[in-house]
Structure 1
Amino acid sequence: MLFFIAKRIASGVVLLAAISLVAFSLLFAGGDDVARRILGPTAPQATVETKASQLGLDRPLWDQYVDWLSHAVTGDLGISWFTGEHVSTSIGSRIAVTLSIIVGATVITAVAAVLLGVTAALRRGWIDRAVQAISFLGFAVPGFLVALALVVVFAINLGWFKPTGYIPLADSPVKWASTVTLPVIALSIAGIAGVAQQVRSSVIDALERDYVRTLRSRGLSMNRVVFKHVLRNAGGPALSVLALQFIGLLGGAVIIEQIFAIPGLGQVAVSSTTKGDTPLVMGLVLATAIIVVVVNLLIDLLQAWLNPKVRLS
Protein backbone atom coordinates (compact mmCIF):
# COMPACT_ATOMS: atom_id res chain seq x y z
CA MET A 1 0.00 0.00 0.00
CA LEU A 2 2.87 2.39 0.80
CA PHE A 3 4.40 1.70 -2.62
CA PHE A 4 1.01 2.39 -4.22
CA ILE A 5 0.76 5.77 -2.43
CA ALA A 6 4.37 6.68 -3.23
CA LYS A 7 3.83 5.92 -6.91
CA ARG A 8 0.71 8.06 -7.04
CA ILE A 9 2.46 10.96 -5.29
CA ALA A 10 5.43 10.73 -7.67
CA SER A 11 3.14 10.81 -10.70
CA GLY A 12 1.36 13.82 -9.18
CA VAL A 13 4.65 15.71 -8.81
CA VAL A 14 5.52 15.00 -12.44
CA LEU A 15 2.07 16.20 -13.48
CA LEU A 16 2.50 19.44 -11.52
CA ALA A 17 5.84 20.12 -13.20
CA ALA A 18 4.43 19.43 -16.67
CA ILE A 19 1.36 21.62 -16.12
CA SER A 20 3.41 24.51 -14.77
CA LEU A 21 5.86 24.35 -17.70
CA VAL A 22 3.08 24.32 -20.30
CA ALA A 23 1.23 27.18 -18.59
CA PHE A 24 4.40 29.24 -18.27
CA SER A 25 5.22 28.71 -21.95
CA LEU A 26 1.75 29.84 -23.04
CA LEU A 27 2.00 32.99 -20.93
CA PHE A 28 5.49 33.89 -22.13
CA ALA A 29 4.33 35.12 -25.55
CA GLY A 30 2.45 38.09 -24.05
CA GLY A 31 5.31 39.37 -21.90
CA ASP A 32 5.98 42.63 -23.80
CA ASP A 33 2.29 43.57 -23.79
CA VAL A 34 2.19 43.14 -20.02
CA ALA A 35 4.85 45.81 -19.51
CA ARG A 36 2.87 48.15 -21.76
CA ARG A 37 -0.37 47.46 -19.87
CA ILE A 38 1.32 48.12 -16.53
CA LEU A 39 2.75 51.48 -17.61
CA GLY A 40 -0.14 52.60 -19.79
CA PRO A 41 -0.51 53.27 -23.52
CA THR A 42 1.29 56.63 -23.38
CA ALA A 43 4.51 55.33 -21.79
CA PRO A 44 7.62 55.71 -23.96
CA GLN A 45 8.93 52.56 -25.59
CA ALA A 46 12.23 52.87 -23.74
CA THR A 47 10.39 52.89 -20.42
CA VAL A 48 8.38 49.85 -21.49
CA GLU A 49 11.54 47.97 -22.37
CA THR A 50 13.10 48.92 -19.04
CA LYS A 51 10.01 47.65 -17.20
CA ALA A 52 10.09 44.40 -19.17
CA SER A 53 13.75 44.00 -18.20
CA GLN A 54 12.91 44.61 -14.52
CA LEU A 55 10.27 41.89 -14.70
CA GLY A 56 12.75 39.55 -16.37
CA LEU A 57 10.73 39.30 -19.57
CA ASP A 58 13.82 39.80 -21.71
CA ARG A 59 15.41 36.61 -20.38
CA PRO A 60 15.07 33.21 -22.08
CA LEU A 61 11.93 31.26 -21.28
CA TRP A 62 13.80 28.43 -19.58
CA ASP A 63 15.67 30.81 -17.26
CA GLN A 64 12.42 32.50 -16.27
CA TYR A 65 10.72 29.17 -15.61
CA VAL A 66 13.59 27.76 -13.54
CA ASP A 67 13.68 30.96 -11.49
CA TRP A 68 9.93 30.82 -10.88
CA LEU A 69 10.02 27.11 -10.05
CA SER A 70 12.93 27.47 -7.61
CA HIS A 71 10.91 30.02 -5.65
CA ALA A 72 7.59 28.16 -6.00
CA VAL A 73 8.89 24.98 -4.36
CA THR A 74 9.72 27.06 -1.27
CA GLY A 75 6.23 28.57 -1.20
CA ASP A 76 7.22 31.91 -2.74
CA LEU A 77 4.87 32.48 -5.68
CA GLY A 78 6.03 36.03 -6.30
CA ILE A 79 4.21 39.35 -6.35
CA SER A 80 1.38 40.43 -8.63
CA TRP A 81 2.62 42.72 -11.38
CA PHE A 82 -0.51 44.86 -11.20
CA THR A 83 -1.58 44.98 -7.54
CA GLY A 84 1.77 44.54 -5.78
CA GLU A 85 0.16 41.95 -3.48
CA HIS A 86 1.86 38.64 -2.73
CA VAL A 87 0.36 35.92 -4.91
CA SER A 88 0.08 33.49 -2.00
CA THR A 89 -1.94 36.12 -0.09
CA SER A 90 -4.24 36.82 -3.04
CA ILE A 91 -4.94 33.13 -3.53
CA GLY A 92 -5.07 32.19 0.15
CA SER A 93 -7.77 34.73 0.92
CA ARG A 94 -10.01 33.38 -1.83
CA ILE A 95 -9.36 29.66 -2.12
CA ALA A 96 -11.35 28.83 1.03
CA VAL A 97 -14.38 30.58 -0.47
CA THR A 98 -14.19 28.62 -3.71
CA LEU A 99 -13.49 25.30 -2.00
CA SER A 100 -16.45 25.75 0.37
CA ILE A 101 -18.74 25.99 -2.66
CA ILE A 102 -17.08 23.17 -4.62
CA VAL A 103 -16.90 20.76 -1.66
CA GLY A 104 -20.53 21.50 -0.78
CA ALA A 105 -21.57 20.84 -4.38
CA THR A 106 -19.57 17.60 -4.44
CA VAL A 107 -21.18 16.31 -1.24
CA ILE A 108 -24.68 17.09 -2.52
CA THR A 109 -23.82 15.53 -5.87
CA ALA A 110 -22.58 12.32 -4.25
CA VAL A 111 -25.56 11.90 -1.90
CA ALA A 112 -28.23 12.79 -4.46
CA ALA A 113 -26.61 10.75 -7.24
CA VAL A 114 -26.37 7.61 -5.09
CA LEU A 115 -29.99 7.90 -3.99
CA LEU A 116 -31.26 8.52 -7.53
CA GLY A 117 -29.00 5.94 -9.16
CA VAL A 118 -29.77 3.15 -6.68
CA THR A 119 -33.50 3.92 -6.76
CA ALA A 120 -33.56 3.84 -10.56
CA ALA A 121 -31.59 0.57 -10.67
CA LEU A 122 -33.82 -1.18 -8.12
CA ARG A 123 -37.26 0.16 -9.01
CA ARG A 124 -36.87 0.49 -12.78
CA GLY A 125 -40.11 1.31 -14.62
CA TRP A 126 -41.30 4.92 -14.53
CA ILE A 127 -38.90 5.82 -11.72
CA ASP A 128 -35.96 4.77 -13.87
CA ARG A 129 -37.30 6.77 -16.81
CA ALA A 130 -37.86 9.81 -14.58
CA VAL A 131 -34.29 9.66 -13.26
CA GLN A 132 -32.92 9.41 -16.79
CA ALA A 133 -35.05 12.37 -17.85
CA ILE A 134 -33.75 14.40 -14.92
CA SER A 135 -30.21 13.41 -15.84
CA PHE A 136 -30.76 14.48 -19.43
CA LEU A 137 -32.06 17.88 -18.33
CA GLY A 138 -29.10 18.27 -16.00
CA PHE A 139 -26.74 17.70 -18.93
CA ALA A 140 -28.67 19.85 -21.39
CA VAL A 141 -29.34 23.00 -19.34
CA PRO A 142 -26.24 25.22 -18.94
CA GLY A 143 -25.17 25.91 -15.37
CA PHE A 144 -25.37 29.69 -15.71
CA LEU A 145 -29.04 29.44 -16.76
CA VAL A 146 -29.76 27.32 -13.69
CA ALA A 147 -27.96 29.89 -11.55
CA LEU A 148 -29.95 32.79 -13.02
CA ALA A 149 -33.23 30.91 -12.54
CA LEU A 150 -32.37 30.17 -8.91
CA VAL A 151 -31.56 33.83 -8.27
CA VAL A 152 -34.82 35.03 -9.82
CA VAL A 153 -37.06 32.49 -8.06
CA PHE A 154 -35.52 31.97 -4.63
CA ALA A 155 -33.61 35.20 -4.05
CA ILE A 156 -35.57 37.93 -5.82
CA ASN A 157 -39.15 36.64 -5.89
CA LEU A 158 -39.26 34.61 -2.67
CA GLY A 159 -36.46 36.38 -0.80
CA TRP A 160 -35.23 33.20 0.88
CA PHE A 161 -31.55 33.75 0.07
CA LYS A 162 -29.16 36.59 -0.68
CA PRO A 163 -28.88 37.09 -4.45
CA THR A 164 -25.23 38.18 -4.37
CA GLY A 165 -22.30 38.52 -2.01
CA TYR A 166 -20.55 36.27 0.46
CA ILE A 167 -20.47 36.18 4.26
CA PRO A 168 -17.63 34.15 5.88
CA LEU A 169 -18.58 31.14 7.97
CA ALA A 170 -16.73 32.57 10.98
CA ASP A 171 -18.91 35.70 10.93
CA SER A 172 -22.28 33.94 10.83
CA PRO A 173 -22.94 30.30 9.92
CA VAL A 174 -26.57 31.04 9.09
CA LYS A 175 -25.78 33.97 6.81
CA TRP A 176 -22.91 32.01 5.27
CA ALA A 177 -25.34 29.23 4.39
CA SER A 178 -27.70 31.76 2.83
CA THR A 179 -24.94 33.00 0.51
CA VAL A 180 -23.60 29.61 -0.63
CA THR A 181 -26.80 27.56 -0.93
CA LEU A 182 -27.83 28.77 -4.39
CA PRO A 183 -24.30 28.60 -5.89
CA VAL A 184 -23.89 25.07 -4.52
CA ILE A 185 -27.20 23.95 -6.00
CA ALA A 186 -26.38 25.54 -9.35
CA LEU A 187 -23.07 23.69 -9.48
CA SER A 188 -24.60 20.40 -8.34
CA ILE A 189 -27.24 19.94 -11.02
CA ALA A 190 -25.00 18.78 -13.87
CA GLY A 191 -22.85 16.71 -11.49
CA ILE A 192 -25.86 14.84 -10.14
CA ALA A 193 -26.92 14.02 -13.69
CA GLY A 194 -23.59 12.47 -14.62
CA VAL A 195 -22.88 10.55 -11.43
CA ALA A 196 -26.46 9.26 -11.06
CA GLN A 197 -26.30 7.69 -14.52
CA GLN A 198 -23.00 6.01 -13.66
CA VAL A 199 -24.31 4.72 -10.32
CA ARG A 200 -27.43 3.39 -12.01
CA SER A 201 -25.43 1.51 -14.67
CA SER A 202 -22.92 0.14 -12.16
CA VAL A 203 -25.62 -1.06 -9.75
CA ILE A 204 -27.60 -2.75 -12.53
CA ASP A 205 -24.43 -4.52 -13.68
CA ALA A 206 -23.58 -5.59 -10.12
CA LEU A 207 -27.08 -6.88 -9.44
CA GLU A 208 -26.66 -9.38 -12.28
CA ARG A 209 -23.57 -10.96 -10.70
CA ASP A 210 -23.68 -14.43 -9.15
CA TYR A 211 -22.66 -13.26 -5.68
CA VAL A 212 -25.86 -11.20 -5.41
CA ARG A 213 -28.03 -14.24 -6.08
CA THR A 214 -25.97 -16.22 -3.58
CA LEU A 215 -26.42 -13.59 -0.87
CA ARG A 216 -30.14 -13.34 -1.57
CA SER A 217 -30.49 -17.14 -1.37
CA ARG A 218 -29.00 -16.98 2.14
CA GLY A 219 -31.86 -14.81 3.27
CA LEU A 220 -30.22 -11.37 3.21
CA SER A 221 -32.56 -8.49 2.45
CA MET A 222 -32.15 -6.61 -0.81
CA ASN A 223 -31.36 -3.36 1.04
CA ARG A 224 -28.53 -5.04 2.96
CA VAL A 225 -27.14 -6.65 -0.17
CA VAL A 226 -27.23 -3.36 -2.07
CA PHE A 227 -25.79 -1.04 0.57
CA LYS A 228 -23.24 -3.47 2.00
CA HIS A 229 -22.04 -5.35 -1.06
CA VAL A 230 -23.34 -4.00 -4.37
CA LEU A 231 -22.41 -0.36 -3.76
CA ARG A 232 -18.91 -1.35 -2.75
CA ASN A 233 -18.40 -3.20 -6.01
CA ALA A 234 -20.14 -0.50 -8.06
CA GLY A 235 -18.38 2.37 -6.30
CA GLY A 236 -15.18 2.41 -8.36
CA PRO A 237 -16.60 3.80 -11.64
CA ALA A 238 -18.86 6.20 -9.75
CA LEU A 239 -15.89 7.56 -7.79
CA SER A 240 -14.00 8.16 -11.03
CA VAL A 241 -16.90 10.14 -12.47
CA LEU A 242 -17.29 12.05 -9.19
CA ALA A 243 -13.60 13.01 -9.31
CA LEU A 244 -14.03 14.30 -12.85
CA GLN A 245 -17.09 16.26 -11.74
CA PHE A 246 -15.10 17.82 -8.89
CA ILE A 247 -12.38 18.92 -11.31
CA GLY A 248 -15.02 20.26 -13.69
CA LEU A 249 -16.54 22.27 -10.84
CA LEU A 250 -13.28 24.22 -10.56
CA GLY A 251 -13.99 25.65 -14.01
CA GLY A 252 -17.71 26.00 -13.45
CA ALA A 253 -17.11 27.94 -10.24
CA VAL A 254 -15.55 30.77 -12.27
CA ILE A 255 -18.89 31.54 -13.95
CA ILE A 256 -21.01 30.88 -10.88
CA GLU A 257 -18.88 33.18 -8.73
CA GLN A 258 -19.30 35.94 -11.30
CA ILE A 259 -23.09 35.56 -11.29
CA PHE A 260 -23.38 35.57 -7.50
CA ALA A 261 -20.57 38.14 -6.97
CA ILE A 262 -18.65 35.77 -4.72
CA PRO A 263 -15.03 36.79 -3.98
CA GLY A 264 -13.47 33.44 -4.82
CA LEU A 265 -10.80 32.30 -7.23
CA GLY A 266 -13.11 32.94 -10.17
CA GLN A 267 -12.92 36.71 -9.94
CA VAL A 268 -9.16 36.86 -9.55
CA ALA A 269 -8.71 34.26 -12.31
CA VAL A 270 -10.67 36.33 -14.83
CA SER A 271 -8.94 39.57 -13.84
CA SER A 272 -5.38 38.20 -13.82
CA THR A 273 -5.80 36.30 -17.09
CA THR A 274 -7.24 39.34 -18.87
CA LYS A 275 -4.35 41.54 -17.74
CA GLY A 276 -1.66 38.95 -18.30
CA ASP A 277 -0.52 38.96 -14.66
CA THR A 278 1.86 36.01 -15.04
CA PRO A 279 2.81 35.52 -11.35
CA LEU A 280 -0.84 35.49 -10.27
CA VAL A 281 -1.94 33.29 -13.16
CA MET A 282 0.86 30.81 -12.43
CA GLY A 283 -0.12 30.78 -8.77
CA LEU A 284 -3.70 29.98 -9.71
CA VAL A 285 -2.57 27.25 -12.11
CA LEU A 286 -0.37 25.69 -9.44
CA ALA A 287 -3.08 25.89 -6.76
CA THR A 288 -5.65 24.32 -9.10
CA ALA A 289 -3.24 21.60 -10.18
CA ILE A 290 -2.43 20.74 -6.56
CA ILE A 291 -6.14 20.44 -5.79
CA VAL A 292 -6.59 18.13 -8.78
CA VAL A 293 -3.63 15.95 -7.74
CA VAL A 294 -4.87 15.70 -4.14
CA VAL A 295 -8.40 14.80 -5.26
CA ASN A 296 -7.08 12.13 -7.63
CA LEU A 297 -4.90 10.71 -4.86
CA LEU A 298 -7.87 10.51 -2.48
CA ILE A 299 -10.00 8.84 -5.15
CA ASP A 300 -7.22 6.33 -5.85
CA LEU A 301 -6.99 5.51 -2.14
CA LEU A 302 -10.76 5.06 -1.90
CA GLN A 303 -10.76 2.80 -4.94
CA ALA A 304 -7.87 0.79 -3.51
CA TRP A 305 -9.86 0.36 -0.31
CA LEU A 306 -12.97 -0.72 -2.23
CA ASN A 307 -11.05 -2.98 -4.60
CA PRO A 308 -7.61 -4.28 -3.48
CA LYS A 309 -6.80 -5.22 -7.09
CA VAL A 310 -6.37 -1.50 -7.83
CA ARG A 311 -3.21 -1.47 -5.70
CA LEU A 312 -1.53 -3.69 -8.26
CA SER A 313 -2.01 -1.19 -11.10
Structure 2
Amino acid sequence: MARTPLSGTQHALRAGDYEAVIASVGASLRSLTYGGRDLVVPFDADVVRPSYRGATLAPWPNRIVDGTYSFGGRDFELALTEPTRGHALHGLAGWLDFDAVDKGPDHVTLEAVVEPQTAYPWRIVVTTTFELGPDGLTQTVTARNESTEAAPWGTGPHPYLVAGEGTLDEWILELPAAQVLAVTDDRLSPIDLEPVGQDDPARFDFREPRAIGSVEIDHAFTGLSRDADGVATVRVTDAAGRGVSMTWDAACPWVQIHTADKPVPAESRLGLAVEPMTCAPDAFNAARYSYDAGLIVIEPEQSATASWCIAAIG
Protein backbone atom coordinates (compact mmCIF):
# COMPACT_ATOMS: atom_id res chain seq x y z
CA MET A 1 0.00 0.00 0.00
CA ALA A 2 1.33 3.42 -0.96
CA ARG A 3 2.20 5.71 1.90
CA THR A 4 -0.03 8.76 2.31
CA PRO A 5 1.96 12.01 1.86
CA LEU A 6 2.48 14.12 4.97
CA SER A 7 -0.04 16.72 3.75
CA GLY A 8 -2.67 14.00 3.32
CA THR A 9 -4.62 12.67 0.38
CA GLN A 10 -4.07 14.69 -2.79
CA HIS A 11 -7.00 15.85 -4.93
CA ALA A 12 -5.95 17.13 -8.37
CA LEU A 13 -8.42 19.36 -10.21
CA ARG A 14 -8.37 20.77 -13.71
CA ALA A 15 -10.57 23.06 -15.81
CA GLY A 16 -9.32 24.82 -18.93
CA ASP A 17 -5.97 26.47 -18.19
CA TYR A 18 -6.44 26.12 -14.42
CA GLU A 19 -4.99 23.32 -12.31
CA ALA A 20 -5.20 22.93 -8.54
CA VAL A 21 -4.20 20.38 -5.93
CA ILE A 22 -6.04 20.20 -2.63
CA ALA A 23 -4.42 18.37 0.29
CA SER A 24 -6.78 16.70 2.75
CA VAL A 25 -4.97 17.79 5.93
CA GLY A 26 -6.55 21.12 6.80
CA ALA A 27 -8.45 21.10 3.46
CA SER A 28 -5.41 22.98 2.17
CA LEU A 29 -4.93 24.59 -1.24
CA ARG A 30 -1.53 23.09 -2.00
CA SER A 31 -1.11 24.59 -5.47
CA LEU A 32 -3.02 26.63 -8.04
CA THR A 33 -1.72 27.43 -11.50
CA TYR A 34 -3.02 29.12 -14.64
CA GLY A 35 -1.29 28.27 -17.89
CA GLY A 36 1.49 26.77 -15.81
CA ARG A 37 2.21 29.85 -13.69
CA ASP A 38 1.69 29.87 -9.94
CA LEU A 39 -1.17 31.93 -8.54
CA VAL A 40 -0.36 30.91 -4.94
CA VAL A 41 2.84 29.90 -3.16
CA PRO A 42 2.77 26.09 -3.43
CA PHE A 43 4.22 23.46 -1.15
CA ASP A 44 5.25 19.86 -1.74
CA ALA A 45 2.85 17.02 -1.01
CA ASP A 46 5.18 15.14 1.32
CA VAL A 47 5.96 17.93 3.76
CA VAL A 48 4.22 19.23 6.85
CA ARG A 49 2.30 22.22 5.53
CA PRO A 50 4.28 25.41 6.32
CA SER A 51 2.78 28.51 7.92
CA TYR A 52 -0.89 27.54 7.48
CA ARG A 53 -0.23 27.92 3.74
CA GLY A 54 -3.54 27.38 1.93
CA ALA A 55 -5.33 26.00 5.01
CA THR A 56 -9.03 26.30 5.76
CA LEU A 57 -9.35 28.18 9.05
CA ALA A 58 -12.17 27.13 11.40
CA PRO A 59 -13.94 27.52 13.80
CA TRP A 60 -12.16 30.86 13.95
CA PRO A 61 -9.63 32.60 11.71
CA ASN A 62 -6.76 34.70 13.01
CA ARG A 63 -6.12 35.02 16.76
CA ILE A 64 -7.95 34.64 20.04
CA VAL A 65 -5.98 36.83 22.43
CA ASP A 66 -4.46 34.91 25.34
CA GLY A 67 -6.44 31.86 24.17
CA THR A 68 -9.32 32.84 26.46
CA TYR A 69 -12.91 33.82 25.76
CA SER A 70 -16.38 33.75 27.29
CA PHE A 71 -19.53 32.52 25.58
CA GLY A 72 -22.97 31.60 26.87
CA GLY A 73 -22.02 32.55 30.39
CA ARG A 74 -19.00 30.24 30.50
CA ASP A 75 -15.27 30.91 30.35
CA PHE A 76 -12.97 28.90 28.09
CA GLU A 77 -9.20 28.53 27.79
CA LEU A 78 -7.70 27.30 24.51
CA ALA A 79 -4.26 25.89 23.82
CA LEU A 80 -1.78 28.61 22.86
CA THR A 81 -0.92 27.54 19.32
CA GLU A 82 0.97 30.79 18.73
CA PRO A 83 3.12 30.54 21.87
CA THR A 84 5.56 33.34 21.03
CA ARG A 85 2.66 35.81 21.09
CA GLY A 86 0.50 33.91 23.59
CA HIS A 87 -2.56 33.44 21.37
CA ALA A 88 -4.74 30.65 19.98
CA LEU A 89 -4.14 30.86 16.25
CA HIS A 90 -6.33 29.94 13.25
CA GLY A 91 -8.83 27.57 14.81
CA LEU A 92 -8.98 23.81 15.27
CA ALA A 93 -9.46 22.46 11.74
CA GLY A 94 -6.00 23.17 10.32
CA TRP A 95 -4.67 19.70 11.16
CA LEU A 96 -7.84 17.67 10.71
CA ASP A 97 -7.79 15.14 7.86
CA PHE A 98 -10.81 15.95 5.70
CA ASP A 99 -12.62 13.11 3.91
CA ALA A 100 -13.74 13.47 0.29
CA VAL A 101 -17.54 13.14 0.07
CA ASP A 102 -17.82 14.15 -3.59
CA LYS A 103 -15.25 14.47 -6.36
CA GLY A 104 -15.06 15.16 -10.08
CA PRO A 105 -12.40 16.35 -12.53
CA ASP A 106 -12.96 20.01 -11.64
CA HIS A 107 -14.21 19.86 -8.05
CA VAL A 108 -13.89 18.15 -4.70
CA THR A 109 -15.99 18.39 -1.54
CA LEU A 110 -14.24 17.62 1.72
CA GLU A 111 -15.70 17.16 5.19
CA ALA A 112 -14.41 16.95 8.75
CA VAL A 113 -15.88 17.25 12.21
CA VAL A 114 -14.67 19.57 14.94
CA GLU A 115 -15.55 17.38 17.91
CA PRO A 116 -16.58 18.85 21.27
CA GLN A 117 -13.59 19.50 23.50
CA THR A 118 -12.89 21.29 26.76
CA ALA A 119 -12.25 24.71 25.25
CA TYR A 120 -14.75 24.44 22.36
CA PRO A 121 -17.57 22.11 23.48
CA TRP A 122 -19.61 22.10 20.25
CA ARG A 123 -19.79 19.58 17.41
CA ILE A 124 -19.38 21.40 14.09
CA VAL A 125 -19.44 19.61 10.74
CA VAL A 126 -17.23 21.56 8.34
CA THR A 127 -17.89 20.97 4.65
CA THR A 128 -15.84 22.70 1.98
CA THR A 129 -16.02 22.53 -1.81
CA PHE A 130 -13.22 23.59 -4.15
CA GLU A 131 -14.39 24.08 -7.74
CA LEU A 132 -12.45 25.19 -10.79
CA GLY A 133 -14.19 27.02 -13.60
CA PRO A 134 -13.65 29.76 -16.19
CA ASP A 135 -13.59 32.35 -13.39
CA GLY A 136 -10.95 30.59 -11.29
CA LEU A 137 -11.02 28.50 -8.13
CA THR A 138 -14.01 28.99 -5.83
CA GLN A 139 -13.95 27.63 -2.29
CA THR A 140 -17.14 27.43 -0.26
CA VAL A 141 -17.14 26.58 3.45
CA THR A 142 -20.27 25.55 5.34
CA ALA A 143 -20.47 24.89 9.05
CA ARG A 144 -23.36 22.96 10.56
CA ASN A 145 -23.89 23.02 14.31
CA GLU A 146 -24.82 19.53 15.47
CA SER A 147 -24.82 20.50 19.15
CA THR A 148 -27.75 21.27 21.41
CA GLU A 149 -26.46 24.80 22.13
CA ALA A 150 -25.55 27.78 19.98
CA ALA A 151 -21.88 27.88 18.93
CA PRO A 152 -19.48 30.74 18.09
CA TRP A 153 -18.05 30.50 14.58
CA GLY A 154 -15.74 32.11 12.08
CA THR A 155 -13.82 30.99 9.01
CA GLY A 156 -11.51 32.07 6.22
CA PRO A 157 -8.76 30.80 3.90
CA HIS A 158 -5.00 31.33 4.08
CA PRO A 159 -3.52 31.50 0.56
CA TYR A 160 -0.31 33.34 -0.27
CA LEU A 161 -0.97 35.00 -3.64
CA VAL A 162 1.72 35.25 -6.31
CA ALA A 163 1.56 38.05 -8.87
CA GLY A 164 4.22 36.71 -11.21
CA GLU A 165 7.59 38.12 -12.13
CA GLY A 166 9.63 40.26 -9.77
CA THR A 167 9.56 40.43 -6.00
CA LEU A 168 6.71 41.16 -3.61
CA ASP A 169 8.15 44.65 -3.08
CA GLU A 170 7.63 45.38 -6.80
CA TRP A 171 4.13 43.93 -7.05
CA ILE A 172 1.16 46.28 -7.35
CA LEU A 173 -1.54 45.91 -4.68
CA GLU A 174 -5.12 47.13 -4.94
CA LEU A 175 -6.89 46.78 -1.60
CA PRO A 176 -10.30 48.55 -1.44
CA ALA A 177 -10.34 48.93 2.36
CA ALA A 178 -11.00 52.19 4.21
CA GLN A 179 -10.15 50.96 7.73
CA VAL A 180 -7.30 49.01 9.29
CA LEU A 181 -7.27 47.34 12.70
CA ALA A 182 -4.45 48.81 14.77
CA VAL A 183 -2.63 46.15 16.81
CA THR A 184 0.11 46.01 19.42
CA ASP A 185 3.61 45.77 17.95
CA ASP A 186 4.72 42.82 20.04
CA ARG A 187 1.68 40.50 20.04
CA LEU A 188 -0.56 41.82 17.23
CA SER A 189 -3.42 42.09 19.74
CA PRO A 190 -6.29 44.28 18.44
CA ILE A 191 -6.59 47.86 19.66
CA ASP A 192 -9.09 49.78 17.53
CA LEU A 193 -10.09 50.62 13.98
CA GLU A 194 -8.35 53.50 12.21
CA PRO A 195 -8.71 55.08 8.76
CA VAL A 196 -6.06 53.61 6.45
CA GLY A 197 -4.82 57.11 5.63
CA GLN A 198 -4.57 58.37 9.20
CA ASP A 199 -1.15 57.45 10.62
CA ASP A 200 0.77 55.44 8.03
CA PRO A 201 -0.84 55.62 4.58
CA ALA A 202 2.30 54.27 2.91
CA ARG A 203 1.80 51.08 4.87
CA PHE A 204 -1.98 50.73 4.84
CA ASP A 205 -3.69 52.77 2.10
CA PHE A 206 -3.83 50.78 -1.13
CA ARG A 207 -7.24 51.97 -2.30
CA GLU A 208 -5.43 53.24 -5.38
CA PRO A 209 -3.18 50.52 -6.88
CA ARG A 210 0.52 51.00 -6.14
CA ALA A 211 3.68 49.05 -5.41
CA ILE A 212 3.82 47.32 -2.04
CA GLY A 213 7.40 48.44 -1.47
CA SER A 214 9.30 47.46 1.64
CA VAL A 215 6.41 47.88 4.11
CA GLU A 216 5.61 45.03 6.50
CA ILE A 217 1.92 44.30 6.99
CA ASP A 218 0.16 41.76 9.18
CA HIS A 219 -3.15 43.51 9.77
CA ALA A 220 -6.89 43.09 9.33
CA PHE A 221 -8.77 45.53 7.11
CA THR A 222 -12.47 46.35 6.77
CA GLY A 223 -14.68 49.09 5.38
CA LEU A 224 -14.41 47.33 2.03
CA SER A 225 -15.65 48.92 -1.18
CA ARG A 226 -17.79 46.51 -3.18
CA ASP A 227 -19.33 46.35 -6.63
CA ALA A 228 -23.07 46.38 -7.41
CA ASP A 229 -23.28 42.69 -6.50
CA GLY A 230 -21.64 43.26 -3.11
CA VAL A 231 -18.34 41.68 -4.14
CA ALA A 232 -14.99 42.96 -2.83
CA THR A 233 -11.85 42.41 -4.92
CA VAL A 234 -8.17 42.45 -4.04
CA ARG A 235 -5.72 42.48 -6.97
CA VAL A 236 -1.99 41.78 -6.97
CA THR A 237 -0.14 42.30 -10.26
CA ASP A 238 3.41 42.52 -11.55
CA ALA A 239 4.96 45.22 -13.71
CA ALA A 240 3.60 43.55 -16.86
CA GLY A 241 0.03 43.68 -15.53
CA ARG A 242 -0.26 39.94 -14.94
CA GLY A 243 -1.23 38.62 -11.58
CA VAL A 244 -4.05 37.31 -9.46
CA SER A 245 -7.28 38.51 -7.91
CA MET A 246 -9.28 37.34 -4.92
CA THR A 247 -13.00 38.10 -4.58
CA TRP A 248 -15.63 37.47 -1.91
CA ASP A 249 -19.09 38.68 -0.93
CA ALA A 250 -20.62 40.20 2.20
CA ALA A 251 -20.16 36.95 4.17
CA CYS A 252 -16.59 38.18 4.74
CA PRO A 253 -16.53 41.81 5.94
CA TRP A 254 -12.84 41.54 6.92
CA VAL A 255 -9.58 40.61 5.20
CA GLN A 256 -6.16 39.95 6.72
CA ILE A 257 -3.18 41.08 4.64
CA HIS A 258 0.28 39.73 5.47
CA THR A 259 3.50 40.39 3.58
CA ALA A 260 4.83 37.07 4.90
CA ASP A 261 7.96 38.47 6.52
CA LYS A 262 10.13 35.67 7.92
CA PRO A 263 13.46 35.62 9.81
CA VAL A 264 15.14 33.59 7.05
CA PRO A 265 15.53 35.76 3.92
CA ALA A 266 15.11 32.84 1.51
CA GLU A 267 11.72 32.06 3.06
CA SER A 268 10.54 35.66 3.42
CA ARG A 269 8.04 37.64 1.31
CA LEU A 270 7.44 34.80 -1.15
CA GLY A 271 3.79 35.74 -1.56
CA LEU A 272 1.12 38.03 -0.18
CA ALA A 273 -1.32 36.41 2.23
CA VAL A 274 -4.85 37.57 1.45
CA GLU A 275 -7.32 36.09 3.94
CA PRO A 276 -11.01 37.04 3.67
CA MET A 277 -12.59 36.50 7.09
CA THR A 278 -16.13 36.26 8.36
CA CYS A 279 -15.01 38.00 11.53
CA ALA A 280 -12.27 40.15 12.99
CA PRO A 281 -9.25 38.94 14.93
CA ASP A 282 -10.28 37.98 18.48
CA ALA A 283 -13.96 38.01 17.50
CA PHE A 284 -14.71 35.43 20.20
CA ASN A 285 -14.08 38.37 22.57
CA ALA A 286 -16.26 40.76 20.56
CA ALA A 287 -17.63 42.44 23.68
CA ARG A 288 -14.18 43.93 24.38
CA TYR A 289 -14.25 46.12 21.28
CA SER A 290 -16.10 49.24 20.22
CA TYR A 291 -16.50 48.06 16.61
CA ASP A 292 -18.51 45.16 15.19
CA ALA A 293 -16.14 42.18 15.23
CA GLY A 294 -18.58 40.10 13.18
CA LEU A 295 -18.80 37.02 15.39
CA ILE A 296 -21.21 34.47 13.91
CA VAL A 297 -23.39 32.48 16.30
CA ILE A 298 -24.82 29.28 14.79
CA GLU A 299 -27.92 27.93 16.45
CA PRO A 300 -28.40 24.16 16.90
CA GLU A 301 -28.99 22.32 13.62
CA GLN A 302 -28.37 25.53 11.66
CA SER A 303 -25.59 26.39 9.21
CA ALA A 304 -23.40 29.27 8.09
CA THR A 305 -21.70 29.57 4.68
CA ALA A 306 -18.96 31.74 3.16
CA SER A 307 -17.03 31.59 -0.11
CA TRP A 308 -14.23 33.26 -2.07
CA CYS A 309 -12.57 32.92 -5.45
CA ILE A 310 -8.97 33.17 -6.72
CA ALA A 311 -8.50 33.98 -10.40
CA ALA A 312 -5.72 34.83 -12.82
CA ILE A 313 -5.25 38.33 -14.22
CA GLY A 314 -3.72 38.48 -17.68
Query: Which range, TM-score by smaller chain?
Result: under 0.3
Which structure dedicates a bigger proportion of its chain to strand?
2
TM (normalized to structure 1)? 0.26
TM (normalized to structure 2)? 0.26
